[in-house]
């Protein structure tokens, strides 16, 4: 990152979870393919499954059963996958490099929240078990926390309001076009992370304020 990066005037950060703070794709893929195996179906490749991550569990399963050629088994796969995945959320899921150190640096000066399209109880379990919950003052929202989910800006606006920070001084960080569009819909600043699950082309098309290749590069825009 060059020394002339323009600093962003923000007071609150809203962070995505999967593909931004945590690398959870192996546990998602393992649980989905375990479910398929119980039904006698062939597993899907990691590349295919990774492309379905980010919009929540129901869209993930819907896309997966279509890709597997068994859309009529959606309800069966959804129910079995939910239980299996909750029990195995943290078998392989880990923080991306630099996440804990960066949040430690940011915590004294910035209010922070998480908005994920993953169900709330799963989001909370992951953040708690990985030691992230201490940074977010209870401002952790899943895809079912409200009646709408990203790219709807409701959760982002709620976090900004709880912290009494204008949405224009809120920064949304995520790995997908859904995250960037949610931030823009809230009137927030946006940064896309290129190491996550979606393509750089998708992120660029959403036109974030910046793209970063490592989570700790966020510090260059804030500190």
Please list, residue by residue across 96-135, b when 16 or more beta carbons sit within 10 angstroms of its beta carbon and e when fewer do.
Answer: beebbebbebbeeebbbbbbbbbbeebbbbbbeebebbeb
pLDDT in tens, 118-149: 999 999 999 999 999 999 999 999 999 999 99
pLDDT in tens, 76-102: 999 999 999 999 999 999 999 999 999
C-alpha 142/C-alpha 206 separation (Å) is 22
* Residues lower than pLDDT 70 in the chain: 1-4, 223
* 18 is an active site residue: no
* DSSP character at residue 24: -
Closest to 23 in 3D by CA, of 105, 92, 107: 92
**DSSP SS3 for 105:** helix
What is the percentage of the chain residues whose pLDDT exceeds 70? 98
**DSSP SS3 for 143:** coil
Cα of 169 vs its chain's centroid, Å = 20
Edge-to-edge strand list for the sheet holding 12-15: 140-141, 111-115, 12-15, 170-174, 189-193, 210-212
Tell me the pLDDT of the chain averaged across its residues.
95
pLDDT of residue 56: 87
pLDDT of residue 4: 61
How far are the Cα atoms of 4, 29, 106 from residue 102, in angstroms, in the given order?
A: 20, 28, 6
Assign domain 25-87 to its CATH superfamily.
Putative phosphatase; domain 2 (1.10.150.240)
Q: What residues does each domain of the chain span?
A: 12-23+95-222, 25-87
The position carrying tokens 């279509």 is 66
Its pTM stands at: 0.94
Cα of 22 vs its chain's centroid, Å = 8
Topology of the domain covering 12-23+95-222: Rossmann fold (3.40.50)
Would strands 22-23 and 94-95 be described as parallel, antiparallel, or unpaired?
antiparallel
Catalytic residue (one of 3, 4, 9, 16): 16
Six-digit token pair at 194? 């290129």
């Amino acid at each position: 990152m060059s020394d002339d990066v323009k600093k962003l005037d923000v007071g609150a950060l809203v962070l995505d979870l999967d593909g931004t703070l945590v690398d959870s794709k192996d546990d998602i893929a393992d649980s989905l393919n375990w479910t398929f195996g119980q039904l006698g179906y062939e597993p899907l490749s990691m590349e295919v499954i990774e492309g379905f991550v980010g919009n929540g569990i129901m869209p993930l399963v819907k896309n997966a059963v279509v890709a597997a050629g068994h859309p009529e088994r959606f309800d069966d796969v959804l129910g079995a996958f939910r239980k299996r995945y909750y029990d195995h959320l943290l078998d392989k899921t880990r923080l991306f490099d630099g996440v804990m150190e960066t949040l430690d640096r940011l915590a004294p000066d910035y209010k922070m929240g998480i908005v994920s399209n993953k169900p709330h109880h799963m989001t909370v379990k992951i953040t708690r078990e990985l030691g992230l919950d201490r940074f977010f003052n209870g401002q952790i929202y899943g895809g079912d926390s409200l009646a709408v989910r990203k790219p709807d800006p409701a959760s982002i606006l709620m976090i900004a309001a709880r912290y009494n920070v204008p949405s224009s001084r809120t920064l949304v960080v995520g790995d997908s076009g859904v995250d960037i569009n949610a931030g823009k819909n809230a009137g927030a600043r946006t940064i896309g992370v290129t190491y996550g699950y979606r393509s750089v082309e998708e992120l660029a098309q959403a036109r974030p304020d910046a793209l970063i290749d490592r989570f700790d590069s966020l510090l260059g825009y804030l500190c």
